[in-house]
Amino acid sequence: MKKFLSVLILGLLVVSSSSASALTQVKVTPQFKINKKNPIVTIKVAGLPLDHGIYISQCMAPKKAGDLPTACNPSTASKLWISSVAADQKMGAKSGTSKLTMKLDKYFDKGDCIHTTCVLFVTSDHNASDDRSEDQALKIKFDGLLPF
């Protein structure tokens, strides 16, 4: 019985550690001093899921941690689809190893990233739409005090 429990606990530790590391690492440069006149950010990703991709969108920050954003930038320039799945790349997804950039907007429909908090919201793509394990809200901020 003790041997069985030891194997069970070890198995649970392996499963829990592998699911905890499933989160894709996303790095945004610059993250807190985005140029207002040329608001381009570079994105680097590591640890993409093997069976689906991720979406990254510019959004208003959720009201509380864990909630989904209620307003996101409708511009296609402020969205990315990144996947290591070959079929996704044939349909337009960017490879995680390619140069990834996004053009952000200071203001968008129902969004104000100068006077309020905005995020780059990461979520699983349509191939795993029920999977919330990739959800991340990375705060972003435009440079300077003036709103232009």
Please provide the DSSP assignment of 75-136 as one string.
-GGGEEEE-S-HHHHHTTPBPTTS-EEEE--SEETTEETTTS-EEEEEEE-GGGTT--TT-E
**With 80 as the cut, is the pLDDT of residue 49 above it?**
yes
Provide mean pLDDT across the span 97-107.
95
Provide mean pLDDT across the span 74-96.
95
Residue 127 lies in a domain: yes
Residue 90 lies in a domain: yes
Q: Residue 94 is part of a domain; what is its CATH number?
A: 2.60.40.230
Provide mean pLDDT across the span 45-52.
94
- With a CB cutoff of 8 Å and minimum separation 6, the contacts of 55 are 79, 80, 81, 82, 122, 123, 124, 125
**With 80 as the cut, is the pLDDT of residue 133 above it?**
yes
Residue 87 lies in a domain: yes
Provide mean pLDDT across the span 82-110.
95
Least confident interval from 17-21, 33-37, 72-76: 17-21
Among candidate residues 80, 117, 70, 84, the one with its CA nearest the CA of residue 100: 80
Residue 8 lies in a domain: no
**Per-residue b or e along 73-102, where b marks 16 or more CB atoms closer than 10 Å to that residue's CB:** beeeebbbbbbbbeebbeeebbbbeeebeb
pTM for this predicted structure = 0.80
Identify the pLDDT of residue 104: 97
Which amino acid appears at position 147 of this protein? Answer: P
Q: Is-contact 54 24, C-beta < 8 A?
A: yes
- Give the range of the structural domain holding residue 66, as residue numbers without chain letter: 23-140
**With 80 as the cut, is the pLDDT of residue 115 above it?**
yes
Residue 98 lies in a domain: yes
Q: Is-contact 56 82, C-beta < 8 A?
A: yes
**With 80 as the cut, is the pLDDT of residue 74 above it?**
yes
**What's the total number of domains in the chain?**
1
Residue 101 lies in a domain: yes
Residue 5 lies in a domain: no
